[in-house]
Chain A
């Protein structure tokens, strides 16, 4: 892992350390947008390429992880909009100096804590979020069939359940 002022001279081993630390988080963020595996791979690759081309602009190597996750989210959101038919710029590059500090929650330990909190929610939240999380490409119609809910209610219910879970996660355990 590079230390302060060392990013411009990072070597292959340091780079591979970055990949080992963050590529799982970046992949998870890309897939959280419901992207296909191919599009998620492009979103992750985008973040690494942006890092290579922005190396001279990295001012705080300690925040590279947050920047990588933020950049992946940015690209995944773009590709998600494109998949829905929106016209998007292909050169909308995030500000290197502004990684999102909340990206730190993208972590397996935090995720396990979230699963424990999810059990505190009643149905249909538990089942709906479980399906939504574990099958990100599932369409609302498929989830509706599995949970025996009106398809029109899936989106609002999911939003309400996720809001409740986020609120739970912000409370002390």
Chain B
């Protein structure tokens, strides 16, 4: 018997420290985060993180700003939305952010999704790239348990979302006529 299980049982037996209602409510709300028919993209080792915002193949030439593309949700075009082709900042650089960037790669169904997360001013930023670029009708949905933001992708498959609450985050790539692909949930805290 694991010691932690015995301790937990003792705490339950004493009626001490019951689960807060907010934790239960959050658990109930997770149900709506299912992606029916979706394909889970598992993590892939990334020996040399490319930096989603600093790739040589950024969309500086495309002129597309993922945060302001048509068809996005009400949060699209919000002030401060990071452009995917922003070359002024590179992962891990000392630029005043609360912590260094973390880059992770996921893969499934022939897609590679690179994610770069940072916490800036207490808010989470997520930038990334879908490879190969899935086309103009694809949409990317960056989700936390509390909010989801939909973005169109640049011609090179880049996207960026800012102003999210820190915590758990997952990204879903929606492609017309094909199953959505979603990343595993990541915990992003300062």
Which residues of A are at the interface with B, using a C-beta cutoff of 8 A?
A: 12, 15-16, 19-20, 23-29, 31-33, 37, 40-42, 44-46, 48-56, 69, 73, 76, 90-91, 93, 100, 102-103, 105-115, 118, 129, 132-134, 136, 162, 165-166, 169-170
Task: Judge whether A90 and B11 touch: CB under 8 Å.
Answer: no
CA–CA, A48 and B128, complex, Å: 25
Min CB distance, A103 to chain B, in Å?
Answer: 6
CA–CA, A137 and B63, complex, Å: 53
Task: Judge whether A45 and B8 touch: CB under 8 Å.
Answer: no
Residues of A within 8 A of B11 (CB): 28, 31-32, 111, 133-134, 136
Which residues of B are at the interface with A, using a C-beta cutoff of 8 A?
A: 1-20, 22-24, 26-28, 30-31, 33-34, 40, 43, 102, 104, 145, 167-168, 170, 182, 184-187, 189
Task: Judge whether B17 and A53 touch: CB under 8 Å.
Answer: no
Q: A28-B12, A73-B2, A106-B12 are in contact. List 4 more A-B contacts (CB 8 A).
A: A24-B12, A31-B8, A37-B20, A111-B8
Task: Judge whether B170 and A53 touch: CB under 8 Å.
Answer: yes
Instruction: Closest B residue to A56 by CB, please name it.
Output: B40
Contact of A52 among B1, B22, B31 (CB under 8 A): B31
A46 and B12 contact, Cβ closer than 8 Å, known pairs A27-B23, A52-B33: no
Task: Judge whether B6 and A114 touch: CB under 8 Å.
Answer: yes
Task: Judge whether A42 and B28 touch: CB under 8 Å.
Answer: no
Task: Judge whether B27 and A19 touch: CB under 8 Å.
Answer: yes
CB-defined A-B contacts under 8 Å, sample of 19: A15-B28, A16-B28, A19-B24, A24-B12, A26-B19, A32-B8, A44-B23, A53-B40, A53-B182, A69-B5, A91-B186, A93-B184, A102-B5, A107-B9, A109-B13, A110-B9, A113-B13, A114-B13, A115-B13
Contact of A105 among B1, B18, B104 (CB under 8 A): B1
CA–CA, A29 and B1, complex, Å: 13
Instruction: Closest B residue to A41 by CB, please name it.
Output: B23
Task: Judge whether A29 and B27 touch: CB under 8 Å.
Answer: no
Residues of A within 8 A of B20 (CB): 27, 37, 41
Instruction: Closest A residue to B44 by CB, please name it.
Output: A91
A28 and B26 contact, Cβ closer than 8 Å, known pairs A45-B145, A90-B187: no
Contact of A166 among B3, B28, B145, B187 (CB under 8 A): B3
Contact of A25 among B1, B8, B187, B189 (CB under 8 A): B8
Task: Judge whether A50 and B10 touch: CB under 8 Å.
Answer: no
Task: Judge whether B14 and A111 touch: CB under 8 Å.
Answer: yes
Min CB distance, B8 to chain A, in Å?
Answer: 4
Instruction: Closest A residue to B104 by CB, please name it.
Output: A91
Task: Judge whether A32 and B14 touch: CB under 8 Å.
Answer: no
Min CB distance, A153 to chain B, in Å?
Answer: 18
Task: Judge whether A106 and B28 touch: CB under 8 Å.
Answer: no
Task: Judge whether B6 and A23 touch: CB under 8 Å.
Answer: no
Instruction: Closest B residue to A132 by CB, please name it.
Output: B7
A48 and B12 contact, Cβ closer than 8 Å, known pairs A27-B19, A91-B186: no
CA–CA, A81 and B148, complex, Å: 30
Task: Judge whether B167 and A42 touch: CB under 8 Å.
Answer: yes
Task: Judge whether A15 and B31 touch: CB under 8 Å.
Answer: yes
Residues of A within 8 A of B10 (CB): 111, 114-115, 118, 129, 133
Min CB distance, B150 to chain A, in Å?
Answer: 19
